[in-house]
Amino acid sequence: MKSNATILGPISESSIELPFYNCRVPAGFPSPALDHMDQPLSLDVLMHVDAPHTYLVLASGDSMTGVGIYDDDVMVVSRKLDAKPGHIIIAFLNNEHCVKRLAKRGEQFVLESENPLYRPRFIMEGDEFDVWGVVTGNLRRFVHG
């Protein structure tokens, strides 16, 4: 299994607040009501950062595009949450990190991609397997550099 996650490191709490506009912006035509600034909002609150239990991971590859995780996205990961079937997790499997959906088929755990081009990976006896955290959010940059 090719690694598709790079650990960037833990994040700390921030006191920076950004303006939050309490209106939905249509993806089609502009709205004339974009001047409804409500209150400042911290990215910590928005992304549920619970330092020091939260860290960032850089995604690589296309195995999770079905859930909106693309190459070079930055995933927000909680080590505080217990991983359950259905969660998207950062796993350490046989000396490689990966991001996959945790599933259970019968009594066996499975790591599933969210791209039909990739087959599920059953966790077998003898595999070195550990859950490093649950993905709670995803940050995508549209301008790089």
CA dist list (Å): 92 to 1, 6, 18, 86, 143: 11, 11, 35, 17, 30
d(CA 61, CA 36): 38
134 neighbors 127 (Cβ within 8 angstroms): no
Residue for token digits 């996205």?
73
User: Mind telling me the catalytic residues?
Assistant: 63, 100
Please classify residue 26 by burial: count the beta carbons closer than 10 Å to its beta carbon, then call 0-12 exposed, 13-18 middle and 19+ buried.
Answer: exposed
Dig out the tokens for 84 from the structure. 């359950």
